[in-house]
Every structure is written in structure tokens, then in C-alpha cells.
Amino acid sequence: MNSIKQTIINLVDQPQLNALLAVFSRGLMSLIFIGAGYSKLTGYAGTQSYMEAMNVPGSLLPLVIALELGGGIALLLGLHTRLIAGLLAGFCIVTGFLFHGGADQMNQIMLMKNLAIAGGLLALVRTGAGTPSLDKE
């Protein structure tokens, strides 16, 4: 087992692979936020109605879109990564419980998805964007 661990460490220590992993991980995490923000922008009225049906003020929707779309793009580019990842992690946790707190299986899966994404984002808070990124840490 130690040889496998050491092999992984040796691979990740290679600058080219490390850079590829940094970009790929930020890209994968940013996709859900960019897509969700865009869909809220294009389906504004429906999203606002859904929020209000869940007892969340529809007036918060512009902030949600800005965080998801803007935050997703910033995450992809590695811009203010620790701050953005922290905000998005908090957003995932809060919205997970607000919108997916039901006892049925689908809501529980969606809640766990939100919590898992928050965990990945908190890892970025801890490690930063890596290189290449617009952050200069």
C-alpha cells in the first residue's frame, strides 16, 4: 500500500500533472455553479416562484445568480479562490438544507450532493487554487 501511496505522491509532485489537476478540479467544481446560475438567469420567473414557494424571498435571486455564475467563473479562473470557495461552500450547505431537507430519497441524495460539493470547496479554501490561476499566493 505504501508503494501505491508513494507513486501517487511522486506523480502529483510533477509540476505539469499538478497544474493539470488544479485546473481540472476547479473546472469540474465550477461547472455546476456556472450551469445553475445560467439556468436561473434564463428561467428567472420560474426560479423566483420556486424560491418563494420554499419561503425564501425571491428578491434574493439576483444575489444567488451573481454568486453562482460569477463565483463559478471566478473559481474556474482561480480568482480569489479561497474566498469564493468559502462562500460557495456556505451556499451549498444552506441551500442544501433549505431546498433538500425533505425525508424522501431524492431530497436526501440532493442534500448529500450539496454537502459533498461543500467538502470539495472547503478543500480549495484550505489549499488555494494551485497553478495556473489568477491568484498570486
Which three cell numbers mark 27? 473546472
Q: What residue has cell string 485546473? A: 23
Q: How confident is residue 13, by pLDDT bands cut at 50, 70 and 90? A: confident
Which three cell numbers mark 65? 445568480
- DSSP H/E element including 74: helix 71-77
**13 inside domain:** no
**1 inside domain:** no
Q: How confident is residue 12, by pLDDT bands cut at 50, 70 and 90? A: confident
**5 inside domain:** no
**70 inside domain:** yes
Neighbours of 100 (CB within 10 A): 18
What's the sign of the alpha-carbon dihedral 69, 135, 120, 122?
negative
CA-nearest of 93, 137, 133 to 113 is 93
**104 inside domain:** yes
Side chain identity at residue 34, one-letter code: I
Instruction: Compute the average pLDDT of residues 50-78.
Output: 97
pLDDT of residue 31: 97
**92 inside domain:** yes
* Residue, of 31 and 18, whose pLDDT is higher: 31
Angle at 122 between CA 121 and CA 126, to 5 degrees: 120
In three state form, how does the secondary structure of 47-59 look? HHHHHHHCCCCHH
Residue 27 CA to residue 36 CA, distance in Å, equals: 14
**133 inside domain:** no
The pTM of the full predicted model, rounded to 2 decimals, is: 0.92
**88 inside domain:** yes
Domain boundaries, position 103: 20-127
Instruction: Compute the average pLDDT of residues 46-59.
Output: 97
Give the number of domains in the chain.
1
Considering the chain, what is the average pLDDT of its residues?
A: 95
pLDDT of residue 137: 65
Give tens-digit pLDDT for 70-124.
999 999 999 999 999 999 999 999 999 999 999 999 999 999 999 999 999 999 9
